[in-house]
Amino acid sequence: MNILVNMHLHPDQITQLEALPDVHLIDRDEFTPAMGSTIDVILAWNPTAAAIMSAPNHVRFIQTMSAGVDYLPLADLARQDVLVANASGIHGESIAESVLGYILNFTRALNAPTNRDPHNFWAASQLRHQITELPGRRALIVGAGHIGTTISHVLQQLGVRTTGVNHDGHAVAGFDQIISTATLMAQAPAADFIINILPLTDQTHHLYNDDFFQRQPGHPYFINVGRGPSVDTAALIRALKVGKVAGAALDVFEEEPLPASSPLWQAPNVQLTPHVSGTISDVATGVFKIFYPNLVSLMDHGTLAVNAVDLARGY
């Protein structure tokens, strides 16, 4: 069992893996292209993994470090009958903290441009009118899985009422209410914050378009910590310019890296971060908790134990 390790593991994790029968670890720094056809398992996707999968190979299992797997050649992997597991569940708290930070920047005016302007700093009386408190605010959390539920929990603790959105509107614990995607698109309830965490699929591409933004009954802040192409960026900028959307916090973009020429740099009241909202200090510990039982299950039963991706569905 040759495992290509494309991420940093802790020494005790390496020891634990090497204690398994017939396991051989190949660190990304030791890998040479000639080894490609000998790899059975890939831990973390990268260009080397892509090269291996695009040539004849006998890879049986790929473990990702991310929750979303839209960047994988899903159809191609399905044809090759490879098992794929994502890292869903390890980024929830981190993303929830980032989302809360974006929200507080808006509601407490912490990132007002005057706060960085020595000559217009003491515009306090103007800022005061923008500042609100969280109790009673309403959040629409589009995506009611692990990450969405964690965001809901954190916001509810601070008095925010949460509406989760899932495919068919089935009940999920941890939200004040749940609506279906169809209801979201037809008649969304008024919200102060709309938070996207949907995976990217054909169905979610440009879900947030002119129609969506114009249909909002409130004056929401829009936050995207899901995937960039779920948003029609030009439509969002139009909505920001006419004040239909109060502000936007974007961690993901239609084009990444975000080009310096993007009109987002000139859009009003926008917070930008470079696809880091899900960052966790100790990613190795998080991923290993999923990878290790999957590897053992693969060796024992030929199947995955947790976090298996449906390659046809895309998540």
Write out the residues near a copy of itself by the rule CB under 8 A.
Answer: 93-94, 97-98, 100-102, 104-105, 107-112, 114-116, 118-119, 121-124, 127-128, 131-135, 154, 157-158, 256-262, 265, 271-277, 279-281
Nearer of residues 1 and 100 to a copy of itself, judged by Cβ: 100
Nearer of residues 52 and 264 to a copy of itself, judged by Cβ: 264
**What tokens appear for 107 in the block?**
């509601």
Nearer of residues 71 and 122 to a copy of itself, judged by Cβ: 122
CB of 96 to a copy of itself, least distance (A): 9
Nearer of residues 158 and 190 to a copy of itself, judged by Cβ: 158
Nearer of residues 40 and 254 to a copy of itself, judged by Cβ: 254
CB of 86 to a copy of itself, least distance (A): 19
CB of 105 to a copy of itself, least distance (A): 6
CB of 37 to a copy of itself, least distance (A): 30
Nearer of residues 84 and 249 to a copy of itself, judged by Cβ: 249
CB of 121 to a copy of itself, least distance (A): 6
Say how far apart CA 127 and CA 110 lie, in whole Å.
10
CB of 177 to a copy of itself, least distance (A): 22
